[in-house]
Amino acid sequence: MTAQGSEPTAPDTVVLVHGLWMTPRSWEGWVAHYESKGFTVVTPAYPGFEVEVEALREDPQVIADLTVPATVDHLASVIEGLDRPPIIMGHSFGGTLTQLLLARGLGTAGVVINSAPTEGVRVNPVSQARSLFPALKNPANRHRAVGFTPEEFHYAFTNTLSAEESRAAWERYAIAAPGFWVWEFGLFANFKPGHQDTWVDYGTERAPLLFVAGELDHIMPPAVNRSNAKHWAKSPSLTEYHEFPGRDHWTCAAPGWEEVADHALTWALEHAASAEPASA
């Protein structure tokens, strides 16, 4: 399964979009894995996130000031600069951003993993509310960059790992997230009049899209991903859903992540090959 020898229009590039509380570093295993198969892998940072994890922890103001439209525009400009429409994959809020990018006509196939919802998904399981509570417990957090403690991270992200394994993941990868995003798109977007920043036209034609969920994901449980996928039933384009048993929100780095990466790439290549490449 390599890009080499494929049809001229087959995708040769994978764009990986990180989620909240993370940076492109969170994809380091996937980059090496896909590059070993002959693909070019692009991991664009959100605007201002081009610095390392340690620098963002030291000065998180760029995180607090970030907006969704600016982030989508930035990611779109990266994709539009590629020679050929790529496969786009996003984790968590990167899944929301991937859906917004596909709705713009970008990409030749999309995979969203443990995706945060786009506007209109009203499923809020108890574990999700508990996971987001550290950001939602104080209204002043709407104007701050808000991080997880190691214990909060263990519950929300890495609940299938030991406390020691979770602490190691938190130390290497975790940063704060824009509190405004959590409040606005996790709480208010479905109750405010008009279209908000995570709105998509679910009836639009776009590249094929796969939702991947983890059975034990606390912060974006399967119910959220199933509901999000069903919203796309209005679209004439292909939408599918796949659930991995026993996996949590940290599924892109937890033991066995290669199975998730291979499933995502195989599905994207199979369906991108049968689809007309989207115009960027």
> In this predicted model, which residue has the larger pLDDT, 15 or 188?
15
Q: What is the pLDDT of residues 87-109, one digit of tens each?
A: 999 999 999 999 999 999 999 99
Percent of the chain with pLDDT over 90: 81
Q: Which two tokens stand for residue 184?
A: 């606005």
- Residue 185 is predicted with a pLDDT of 79
Would you place residue 8 in the very low, low, confident or very high pLDDT band (cuts 50, 70, 90)? low
Q: Which CATH class is domain 13-271?
A: alpha beta
| DSSP, residue by residue, 159-222 | TTS-HHHHHHHHHHH---EEHHHHHIIIIIGGGSSS--TT---TTS--S-EEEEEETT-SSS-H
Percent of the chain with pLDDT over 70: 93
DSSP letter (8 states) at residue 111:
E
Would you place residue 280 in the very low, low, confident or very high pLDDT band (cuts 50, 70, 90)? very low
- Residue 191 is predicted with a pLDDT of 72
Mean per-residue pLDDT for 233-245?
97
Look at residues 12, 149, 32, 18 and name the one whose alpha carbon lies nearest to residue 83: 12
Kindly report the average pLDDT of the chain as a whole number. Answer: 92
Q: Domain limits of the chain? A: 13-271
- Residue 273 is predicted with a pLDDT of 63
- Residue 1 is predicted with a pLDDT of 41
Would you place residue 188 in the very low, low, confident or very high pLDDT band (cuts 50, 70, 90)? low
- Residue 22 is predicted with a pLDDT of 97
- Residue 51 is predicted with a pLDDT of 93
- 3-state DSSP call for residue 242? strand
Q: What is the pLDDT of residues 151-170, one digit of tens each?
A: 999 999 999 999 999 999 99
Question: Of the ranges 105-114, 143-152, 213-222, 265-274, which one carries the lowest mean pLDDT score?
Answer: 265-274
- Residue 277 is predicted with a pLDDT of 42
Mean per-residue pLDDT for 3-32?
86
Report the alpha-carbon distance of residue 49 to residue 167 in Å, rounded: 22
Report the alpha-carbon distance of residue 63 to residue 47 in Å, rounded: 9
Sole residue written with tokens 């992540």? 257
Would you place residue 33 in the very low, low, confident or very high pLDDT band (cuts 50, 70, 90)? very high
Q: What is the pLDDT of residues 50-87, one digit of tens each?
A: 999 999 999 999 999 999 999 999 999 999 999 999 99
Would you place residue 189 in the very low, low, confident or very high pLDDT band (cuts 50, 70, 90)? low
The single-letter code of the amino acid at 73 is: D
- Residue 10 is predicted with a pLDDT of 85
pTM, full prediction = 0.92
> In this predicted model, which residue has the larger pLDDT, 140 or 164?
164
